[in-house]
């Protein structure tokens, strides 16, 4: 079944978790590209601010206050889209939260609450989206993680939820394809991204957490999301670092375990004392209305790996061109070397004749 998605400037796009990080950047870029937006999060004040910002700049946006862990709230997002725009073409399940701490330290209530947002939020959004898109077609984009493939210590609950999201998304895609329902189902798997993710997370550590490198800009993820809204993609890593972790975990799981044990505990701990552990977005809106999280190290503003994944023909062309240039350079160098050796041999021959 050949899927054809509409151009972004003719689409209505739903984005959950729209008031910070990846969701906020995606909303602003999508609005600049003339998509009409339905923005959802639990933070009503931030939603109103973002909606007003987009509309004042000439875009079209409406918002719905929603906790994605609540099915009725998610159905309310779809109802808002139908009331304002007559429906939607792309649904992005972006809302998520994390917990830092050893699994044995995290309360069962916190485990369950994280799954309400990260897993059940995706389930609710996906089922509501499929219900609406099954006849008209469109795109469902679920935000997983590089940790959907490979778990790391300290964020075990988050890793488990993203593994669950991957399993759900892969199964849903196959079922829809089997029924020939015209919905593109994409799982996007970002590496570490410089967003307020750490500020929103609940922290059981004695110090403030930090992202392990390499860290990428949220714009890299936003570009991938918007590409997948127009082009059917099965799944997509954002950042070569995330792909590297996945490959290592697949081909050398025990070695990867040891490397993680040696590095990932320290890499996720800063030298700053921990704040009050209740200061998190696990149960209520919290943290900054911001795109970036203020990562102290280097933030990659682009990813050649992701660009190559999005544009394989261009990447292949560049690879062939590079190979061609390398061959020409090698050939010219070989010819110069032969000419030099030829001159040397001739001069040596002339010198021998004069002696």
Residue 152 lies in a domain: yes
Q: Which of 55, 53, 50, 54 is nearest to 65 (CA)?
A: 50
Answer yes or no: do 202 and 81 share one domain: yes
Asked whether residue 171 falls in the same domain as residue 296, the answer is yes
Is 3 a member of any domain? no
Answer yes or no: do 274 and 346 share one domain: no
pLDDT at 110: 98
The pLDDT, as a whole number, for residue 275 is 86
Residue 47 lies in a domain: yes
Q: Point out which residues pair with 68 in neighbouring strands.
A: none
CATH code for position 270: 3.40.50.720
| Same structural domain, 223 and 323 | no
Query: Tens of pLDDT along 284-337?
Result: 998 778 999 999 999 999 898 888 888 766 544 444 444 443 344 345 545 555
Do 272 and 320 belong to one domain? no
For the segment 335-352, what is each residue's pLDDT rounded down to a tens digit?
555 665 665 455 554 455
d(CA 18, CA 12): 15
Claim to verify: residue 305 and residue 319 sit in the same structural domain: no
Q: 1 lies in a domain?
A: no
Question: Where in the sequence is the domain holding 325, given as residue range(s)?
Answer: 312-355
Q: Domains in the chain: how many in total?
A: 2
Q: Are 68 and 113 in contact (CB under 8 A)?
A: no
Same domain, 214 and 128: yes
Give the whole-angstrom CA distance, residue 187 versus residue 201.
Answer: 22
- Please report how many Cα atoms fall inside a 13 Å half-sphere around the Cα of residue 174, on the Cβ side: 5
187 and 323 in one domain? no
Q: What is the pLDDT of residue 2?
A: 73
Domain boundary among 310, 330, 347: 310
pLDDT recorded at residue 183? 98
Q: Are residues 334 and 201 in the same domain?
A: no
345 and 303 within one domain:
no
Which residues 6+ apart lie within 8 Å of 38 measured at CB? 12, 13, 14, 15, 61, 62, 63, 64, 77, 80, 81, 84, 85, 88
On whether both 327 and 226 belong to a single domain, the answer is no
Residue 18 included in any domain: yes
C-alpha–C-alpha distance, residues 355 and 253, integer Å: 70
Q: Are 61 and 118 within one domain?
A: yes
Residue 116 lies inside a defined structural domain of this protein: yes
- What pLDDT does 352 receive? 53
Task: Cite the active site residues.
Answer: 158
Q: Is residue 2 part of a domain?
A: no
205 CB neighbour count, 10 Å cutoff:
18
Residues of the chain with pLDDT under 50: 315-330, 333, 344, 349-350, 355
């Amino acid at each position: 079944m050949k899927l054809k998605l509409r151009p972004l400037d003719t689409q209505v796009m739903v984005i959950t978790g729209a008031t910070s990080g990846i969701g906020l950047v995606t909303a602003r870029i999508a609005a600049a590209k003339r998509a009409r937006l339905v923005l959802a999060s639990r933070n009503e004040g931030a939603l109103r601010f973002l909606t007003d910002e987009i509309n004042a700049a000439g875009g079209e946006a409406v918002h719905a206050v929603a906790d994605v862990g609540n099915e009725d709230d998610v159905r309310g997002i779809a109802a808002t889209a139908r009331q304002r725009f007559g429906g939607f073409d792309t649904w992005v399940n972006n809302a998520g939260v994390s917990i830092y701490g050893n699994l044995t330290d995290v309360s069962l209530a916190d485990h369950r609450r994280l799954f309400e947002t990260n897993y059940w939020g995706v389930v609710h959004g996906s089922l509501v989206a499929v219900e609406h898109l099954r006849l008209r077609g469109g795109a469902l984009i679920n935000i997983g993680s590089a940790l959907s493939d490979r778990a790391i210590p300290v964020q075990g609950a988050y890793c488990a939820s993203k593994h669950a999201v991957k399993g759900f998304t892969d199964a849903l895609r196959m079922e829809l394809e089997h029924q020939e329902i015209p919905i593109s189902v994409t799982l996007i798997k970002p590496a570490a991204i410089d967003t307020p993710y750490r500020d929103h997370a609940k922290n059981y550590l004695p110090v403030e957490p930090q992202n392990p490198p390499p860290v990428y800009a949220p714009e890299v993820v936003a570009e991938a999301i918007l590409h997948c809204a127009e082009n059917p993609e099965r799944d997509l890593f954002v950042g070569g670092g995330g792909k590297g972790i996945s490959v290592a975990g697949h081909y050398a799981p025990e070695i990867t375990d040891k490397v993680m044990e040696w590095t990932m505990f320290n890499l996720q701990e800063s030298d700053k004392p921990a704040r009050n552990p209740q200061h998190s977005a696990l149960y209520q809106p919290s943290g900054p209305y911001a795109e970036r999280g203020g990562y102290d190290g280097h933030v990659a503003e682009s990813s050649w790996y992701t660009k190559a994944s999005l544009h394989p023909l261009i990447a292949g062309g560049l690879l062939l061109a590079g190979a061609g240039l390398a061959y020409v350079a090698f050939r010219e160098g070989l010819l110069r070397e032969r000419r030099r050796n030829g001159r040397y041999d001739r001069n040596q021959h002339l010198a021998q004749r004069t002696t």
